[in-house]
Amino acid sequence: MHMNSSAVATAVRWGALSACWLGALLISVPAGAAETALTPKWEPVAPGVWKATIGSPEDLTLLSAAGQAPQLAALAGMPAAAFPFAAAEIEARPQARRTALRFPLGLDEDIYGLGVDFKSLRRTGSVFQLHVDHWSGRTGRTHAPVPLYISTRGYGVLIDSSRYVNFSVGLGVRLAAKDKPPVVDRTTGGPAWSSLPRSDSVEVSVPAGGVVVYVFAGPTPLDAVRRYNLFCGGGALPPKWGLGFLTRTPIGYSAQEALAEVDEFRQRGIPLDMLGLEPGWHDQAYPCSFEWDQNRFPDPAGFLAGLEKRHVRANLWFNPYISPTAPLYAQLRPYAGSHLVWNGIVPDYSLPQAREIFAGHLLKKIVGVNPAALGGFKIDEVDGGDQWLWPDHASFPSGHDGEQLRQTYGLLLQRTLMEVFRGLNRRTFGQVRGTNAGASPFPFVIYNDNYDFNEYITAVANTSFAGVLWSPEVRGGTGEDMLRRVQAVCFSPLALFNGWATNTKLWTHADVAGQIRDVIMLRQRLLPYWYTTFAQYHYQGTPVIRAMPLIAGFKAPAANPEPGKLDATANPYAIGKVVEAKDQYLVGDVLLVAPIAPGVASRKVTLPPGRWYDFYTGKPAGENETIDVSPPLSQIPLFVKDGGLIPLTNERQWAPGREEAVPLEVRHYGESPGELSLYDDDGETFDYERGECSWTKLRAAKDATGAWQGEVTAEKDARPWRYSAVTWRFMTTPEASR
């Protein structure tokens, strides 16, 4: 650039002037002048539960979408607990369009939860944006992005927002932090240098001008989860038949083909309680009509009567986007959002009027045809991905936007369907592909199209921090693959085969067909154990599945991250690996499940403190240690805690009916006396809410001669109790112990 002398002089003057201005600007900014933080006011809302309202929260929250009342009496039965934080250390910064929150995090503390992640359990040292989605491998995007976290110090925090909430857990060190991580020179510091300096906070950012937050006390992490589930209304209690086996038929099956499939199960002696119909029962799918197809299902009442006669319940697939050809369309059109999904309208179910119309139609045209045989629905496609659903800027008649509806659509539909069945005094058990916080009481199990065995198991374990249920899938594959997957689904909340897109059947591979049948039969026989475990979820909030970090005293093989090794291409930031027990979990109080992946002959199992016994033989397996197991192909590794009682029924093809009494076998494991409160009710209705239920004490102890004895003590006047003869089996005999 060329300048003449006067131009140079001017430039110098301007330069001096702007340097002055800059200096003045710098001086006028006070050090650390972020906007002032507020200390939220915590108001007790239930025993051991506190709420804070920060700024101006939006009306549609996750708990308001779920719309269930807290179980206050059950919460009152939990031990009194103090607020788990020094309240002054929690900070909130509400702004017009964003609310930031900071919760303290100790250096010895770990965080779990934040939804059903597929990769890991531990959240410390990660950043999440929680977003309802079909699993795509992106952090925080999942079918159940529940914004609840659980601390190893024994408390939980729920951010009750229907927005995509951001969490930074133990990252993002603040200038004002008291406990800053040490400064280490990367060149000379060796493994002491970390690319992820640990912060003393969990920071949350909500893209809204306010938010409601809840804190749940412990004292243990499991107690914090229990308080959360009870505050959401208590865990789901499925009908007994919901804990049997579900098979889903291929797309386009007719009534005749569906009934023939049930008959084939019966002929082969494979237990079956539910038959799932995939696209094809409606006269139009994608978008859906919610009208029976006249060709494939010319006589819905006759079809359902056929199922009823066979002791099987129908479960009907749908996605909720309504076809312009459907009679329901005109009624719901005034409630439609701005965008279509698969050319169907998206009704705004945050409006009660829209929910009522949909519920009324289901009742009249579908469930009402035969409520004894129409057991439930599979709510598909309410999660995403982005390319299928409405955009975030979509508008809805309620005034809520696409983001809010995306985060709550699964909740709103589960609520609507549960109310249809509640109105008939019948319980339901179904499936859903997208859900969120507040779902604990909803009798729906999440599933997806991902087919990664190990990720499925980690997802099962993660449900225990999120108040939701998850089932892996079996769809086809080689015989070994199918057998291993059937074993895994039989030890998850919903045991199912999803044959929607395959010609493979459970009996296709003759070499494993008998073993597949046997494990489904074992699932069927374990009904009393599953039912009591679900009753604990419902009445006490204790999750059905318990991930290992929820087990007192459990230590993962290496609890801390391994120091990372620098690798210029694979790991340039030398990020350490966290070793965690994410491939095993407990079902209920005493049964440890360690699924074996297809193609694997052996695995490691880490047993918690106390002695553990092999489920099949009663032999000691170990105690507070990691063992290697290589069971036969026919067995999924199962271990029972010392003193554990496992109640089973006889071999059956379907769950017991309301009036039916069935024989009970109680197995005792180990050297210590055992005790179990076995739950029962009619297994089908909501009459248990009026006290029509029973808890019966089963006890095993040695008598004066050293022989094991079993004892059954019923609560006075408790009924119903639908077990006939009780047989005891003491599994850990002296021979078994040798």
Residues that bind ligand GAL (CB under 6 A): 278-279, 317, 380-381, 449, 498, 500
Phi-psi domain of 316 (left: phi exceeds 0; alpha: psi -120 through 50; beta: other)? beta
Least distance to ligand GAL from the beta carbon of 387, Å?
13
What number of CA atoms fall less than 13 Å from residue 37's CA on the CB side? 15
Nearer to ligand GAL, 473 or 583 (CB): 473
Closest CA to 333 of 317, 357, 369: 357
Nearer to ligand GAL, 450 or 508 (CB): 450
Nearer to ligand GAL, 114 or 246 (CB): 246
Order of all β-strands in the sheet with 430-432:
469-470, 444-446, 430-432, 374-379, 313-318, 274-277, 245-248, 495-498
Least distance to ligand GAL from the beta carbon of 341, Å?
12
Order of all β-strands in the sheet with 155-160:
43-46, 49-55, 210-217, 155-160, 148-151, 111-113
Least distance to ligand GAL from the beta carbon of 381, Å?
6
Least distance to ligand GAL from the beta carbon of 389, Å?
12
Residue 720 exposed, middle or buried by CB count within 10 Å (0-12, 13-18, 19+): middle
H-assigned helices in 71-188: 72-76
Least distance to ligand GAL from the beta carbon of 388, Å?
9
Contact, 460 vs 490, CB < 8 A?
A: no
Least distance to ligand GAL from the beta carbon of 306, Å?
23
Cα(675)–Cα(65) distance, integer angstroms: 39
Least distance to ligand GAL from the beta carbon of 324, Å?
20
Least distance to ligand GAL from the beta carbon of 383, Å?
9
Nearer to ligand GAL, 299 or 449 (CB): 449
Nearer to ligand GAL, 431 or 694 (CB): 431
Least distance to ligand GAL from the beta carbon of 490, Å?
19
Least distance to ligand GAL from the beta carbon of 400, Å?
25
- Write the single-letter amino acid at 490: C
Least distance to ligand GAL from the beta carbon of 494, Å?
13
**Nearest-CB residue for ligand GAL:** 500
Q: List Cβ neighbours of 18 (8 Å cut-off, separation of 6 or more).
A: none
Nearer to ligand GAL, 278 or 684 (CB): 278
Per DSSP, the three-state class of 262 is helix
Cα(355)–Cα(367) distance, integer angstroms: 16
Nearer to ligand GAL, 223 or 278 (CB): 278
**H or E segment at 62?**
helix 62-66
Nearer to ligand GAL, 350 or 498 (CB): 498
Q: What are phi and psi of 86, to 5 degrees?
A: -80, 110
Closest CA to 470 of 525, 438, 498, 432: 432
Least distance to ligand GAL from the beta carbon of 283, Å?
16
Nearer to ligand GAL, 349 or 377 (CB): 377
CB burial string 281-305: b at 16+ within 10 A, e below = bbbbbbbbbbbbbeebbeebeebbe
Least distance to ligand GAL from the beta carbon of 471, Å?
11
Contact, 414 vs 420, CB < 8 A?
A: no
Cα(71)–Cα(76) distance, integer angstroms: 9
Nearer to ligand GAL, 250 or 656 (CB): 250
Nearer to ligand GAL, 317 or 537 (CB): 317
Closest CA to 132 of 367, 411, 519, 452: 411
Cα(442)–Cα(464) distance, integer angstroms: 15
Dihedral, CA of residue 460, residue 466, residue 469 and residue 472, to nearest 10: -30
Q: What are phi and psi of 728, to 5 degrees?
A: -105, 140
Least distance to ligand GAL from the beta carbon of 348, Å?
22
Nearer to ligand GAL, 241 or 497 (CB): 497
- Locate 438 and state its tokens: 């507040």
Least distance to ligand GAL from the beta carbon of 277, Å?
10
Nearer to ligand GAL, 431 or 533 (CB): 431
Contact, 695 vs 717, CB < 8 A?
A: no
Cα(593)–Cα(529) distance, integer angstroms: 14
Closest CA to 112 of 452, 495, 577, 581: 581
Cα(63)–Cα(69) distance, integer angstroms: 9
Task: Break the chain down into helix, strand, coil percent, rounded to 5.
Answer: 25, 25, 50
Q: What are phi and psi of 726, to 5 degrees?
A: -110, 125
Least distance to ligand GAL from the beta carbon of 234, Å?
28
